Amino acid sequence: MAKDINPPRGMRDFLPADKGKRENALAVIRGVYESYGFQEIETPALENLDRLLSGQGGDNEKLAYRVMKRGAELEEAISGGSDADALADLGLRFDLTVPLTRFYATNRTSLPSVFKAVQIGPVWRAERPQKGRYRQFIQCDIDIIGDDGILAEAELITASLAALDALGLKDSLIRVNHRELLISLLTGFGINSENLSKAMIIIDKLDKLEVSGVIQELKDNLGDQVANEAEKWFDSLNTSEIPEILSDMFQVIGSQRLKFDPTLVRGMGYYTGVIFEIEHPGSGLSIGGGGRYDGMVGKWLGADVPAVGISLGFERVIELIAGGYQSSGVVLVLEDDSIEVLNHALELQRELIEQKLNVRLELKPKRLNLLLENMKANGFNRFALISSDGAKPELKYID
């Protein structure tokens, strides 16, 4: 029986054309963010497990991949009868925010007082794969640490929308809410501080359970009174009246690209203020989100530092981008592999590379049309036939 040679569930291979399209999109995002003054950093794929599981990552902490101790440490832990949790000391990052706050705490003396960071890279979550959800995926984050005012939030929103516009996703919209509004609302339902997080997690399931499902889950977990109050609230929702706590943001950014959504929660436990979620009419899922997390850096420093960020869910964004991989690639097709043809082809290849073109050499097959079709699918849009006569060939577009 043939062995399974597919990648692990929830993880994917990318063919050259797919990889090219992804890298082009990432280059656009990077370019826009850098133009707005954000500086790119890089953090390790692995973090100490106690940092990843510090209680600030919400439900995502349950999805962290753990990495076992190595060598003598692992043998000692096993021989000592340690439980499963004690056998691991590292974990793969499940987002880029927790690593960023650790990075800032480590390197703060070398960074500007207001640090504007870009971080783009893979993250890993041990969740059940489904449409739009993978176990390994790319996030594109921008964050501002050290500014507690509306300027930071306005810059993040403006830069994020500019990046999406540059990708052709000009219909993107950012939904906005504030954690203080949520806490005040839930407290008014009769929910005590110990159950606030549980209530937020339930309301955050609104897109999956719809209103009736959320009401039932609130009833099952927090009682009839809470469920009744929540039902009244859902019946009287008003998204047109912007609350005072968000009014400045709407005045600065404008209501064309912002939408007040009082049901927006964001599942992460570390959010302390304004929260964002990005939507696009072409996707039934969120394509990004974030918010203010002023208390998170202080977890490592012992003193709070204001911080706010937005993350683009790259896998969902790339699915919305029309068209395939476009490049200026050229295929030089050699009539044969004689010394004269090889020298002529290599000289022309060097000339074209100096013109910033991607140039591939191929021996002429029996069926040239099949080769050209394959090359076009992989981002090469022109070709030329190289013969032994030394004449400079004409570059032609692949039909």
- Beta bridge partners, 39, equal 117
Q: How much is the pLDDT for 298?
A: 87
Mean pLDDT of the chain: 91
Q: What are phi and psi of 168, to 5 degrees?
A: 90, 10
Residue written as token pair 């939904």:
175
Closest by Cα among 124, 106, 127 to 115: 106
CATH topology of domain 16-182+245-320: BirA Bifunctional Protein; domain 2 (3.30.930)
Instruction: Give the three-state DSSP class for 165.
Output: helix
Distance CA 160, CA 148 (A): 19
Please check whether residue 172 is in contact with residue 161, taking contact to mean a CB–CB distance below 8 angstroms.
yes
Please check whether residue 248 is in contact with residue 239, taking contact to mean a CB–CB distance below 8 angstroms.
no
Closest by Cα among 390, 271, 290 to 340: 390
Please check whether residue 171 is in contact with residue 281, taking contact to mean a CB–CB distance below 8 angstroms.
yes
pLDDT along the chain (399 residues), means of 10: 81 92 96 98 95 78 89 80 79 94 95 97 92 91 96 96 96 95 93 89 88 94 93 90 94 92 83 94 92 90 93 96 79 94 94 93 95 89 90 89
Q: How much is the pLDDT for 2?
A: 58
This prediction's pTM: 0.89
Q: How much is the pLDDT for 76?
A: 81
Instruction: Cite the residue boundaries of each domain of the chain with CATH code 3.30.930.10.
Output: 16-182+245-320
Q: How much is the pLDDT for 164?
A: 98
Q: How much is the pLDDT for 268?
A: 67
> What's the Rg (C-alpha) of the chain?
26
